[in-house]
Amino acid sequence: MKPGKSLMKHYLQFKDFRREEYDYLFERSAIIKKRFKNYEKYTPLVDRTLAMIFEKASTRTRVSFEAGMYQMGGSVVHLTTGDSQLGRAEPVEDSARVISRMVDLVMIRTYEQQKLEAFAAHSRVPVINGLTNEYHPCQILADIYTYIEQRGSIEGKTVAWVGDGNNMANTWLQAADILGFTLHVSTPTGYEIDAKVAGVRHPSCLKTFKHPLDACRDAHLVTTDVWTSMGYEAENEARRQAFADWRVDGEMMAAAQPDALFMHCLPAHRGEEVDADVIDGPQSVVWDEAENRMHVQKALMEYLVLGRIG
Ligand code: CP
Ligand code: NVA
């Protein structure tokens, strides 16, 4: 591993990339996905290794990064808090120094964004945010790619966020700011989105609504997430009560545009944040959304390790 690659980039939050980098990544995602669907071998990351560090549970993030890396010819090392020295209080800076001498790329799912930033600051290789308390950029990358695939450009459109002002909501807000769409947000009192966390440059991209139905009016995409994110389980009962009216239902979908899509990062709880009729209904694209995690992350890994192709 060569230290100090001068153009090294990390992907720690959505706003780490510019709009034209997203245009490039979405183009590469489409090419990479088409090759995969045609069973064409594409192995630009032969002899490269991705370390994946999970301090929280995962299904999609693990499978999509691991399968994606193998498909591109590389290999993967999987670490968790419980089976590494991370769980025995080895400083994150030391872990970063050591791990990044042996691999080409690191993906981390952890609690505080600050921990991810500390790792990246001491890493010789690019670091990817696989979810923190504050952000989930790989998921929004997949969600926007899915929107584009189904409906074309998201610029000028309206996305309705119903539920917690959490890591997904913060990341949607960064995306609205960078890609030029409007985010309608409705959260229960006490669970509001904090625009300072996202750090938006165009505050007009955020509109907040007291009632979730109003947030959904004329939206091109309606999306939500669990009432209780990982790490907040102690608040479960309070959240169940506070979020009872923040369930995406048929009435909310009917208030949106006639061709509105429904997305959910998954895992979902039918009967809590979304009715089964919606998530299993004709406007839902959640399975394409989940699959696209792999295609966009392959494009992301290619970009971070090799730079622009062609
Ligand atoms: N959406 C998502 O990140 O899923 P996992 O928690 O299963 O990785
Ligand atoms: N907001 C959820 C997303 C899970 C993919 C969480 O952080 O648990």
The answer, yes or no, to whether any atom of ligand 1 lies below 6 A from the CB of 132, is: no
Residue 1 has pLDDT above 80, yes or no: no
Q: Which atom of ligand 1 is nearest to the CA of 136?
A: 3
Q: Rounded to whole angstroms, how far apart are CA atoms 159 and 172?
A: 9
Provide mean pLDDT across the span 236-247: 98
Q: What is the mean pLDDT of the chain?
A: 96
Are the C-beta atoms of residues 72 and 295 closer than 8 Å to each other? no
Q: Rounded to whole angstroms, how far apart are CA atoms 278 and 253?
A: 8
- Which of 108, 230, 239, 263 gets mutated to test ligand 2 (max ligand atoms within 8 A of its CB)? 230
CA dist 65 to 116, 144, 157, 239, 278, Å?
18, 18, 29, 31, 28
Are the C-beta atoms of residues 106 and 128 closer than 8 Å to each other? yes
211 φψ region: left (φ > 0), alpha (ψ -120 to 50), beta (else):
beta
Task: Kindly give the distance from the C-alpha atom of residue 6 to the centroid of ligand 2, in angstroms, as a whole number.
Answer: 33
Phi, psi of 59 (to 5 degrees): -115, -65
Residue 2 has pLDDT above 60, yes or no: no
Please, which pLDDT band fits residue 255 given cuts at 50, 70 and 90? very high
The 10s digit of each residue's pLDDT in 149-178 is 999 999 999 999 999 999 999 999 999 999
Proportion of the chain in helix, strand, coil states, percent, rounded to 5: 45, 15, 40
The 10s digit of each residue's pLDDT in 61-114 is 999 999 999 999 999 999 998 889 988 889 999 999 999 999 999 999 999 999
- Which residues form the catalytic set? 109, 136, 139, 225, 265, 293
Ligand found nearest the CA of 58: 1
Amino acid 110: pLDDT: 97
Nearest CA to ligand 1 atom 7: 59
The answer, yes or no, to whether any atom of ligand 1 lies below 6 A from the CB of 139, is: yes
The first and second tokens of residue 232, run together, are 């907040």
Q: By three-state DSSP, how is residue 50 classified?
A: strand
Return the CATH superfamily for domain 138-289. Aspartate/ornithine carbamoyltransferase (3.40.50.1370)
Q: Which CATH number fits domain 14-136+292-306: 3.40.47.10, 1.10.10.60, 3.40.50.1370, 3.40.50.980?
A: 3.40.50.1370
Amino acid 6: pLDDT: 53
Q: Rounded to whole angstroms, how far apart are CA atoms 49 and 93?
A: 20
Share of the chain above pLDDT 90, in %: 95
The 10s digit of each residue's pLDDT in 183-222 is 999 999 999 999 999 999 999 999 999 999 999 999 999 9
The 10s digit of each residue's pLDDT in 125-153 is 999 999 999 999 999 999 999 999 999 99
Amino acid 7: pLDDT: 75
Are the C-beta atoms of residues 184 and 219 closer than 8 Å to each other? yes
Amino acid 17: pLDDT: 98
- Kindly report, as residue ranges, where domains of CATH 3.40.50.1370 are found in the chain: 14-136+292-306, 138-289
Are the C-beta atoms of residues 28 and 302 closer than 8 Å to each other? yes
Task: Kindly give the distance from the C-alpha atom of residue 59 to the centroid of ligand 1, in angstroms, as a whole number.
Answer: 5
- Which of 54, 112, 168, 286 gets mutated to test ligand 2 (max ligand atoms within 8 A of its CB)? 168
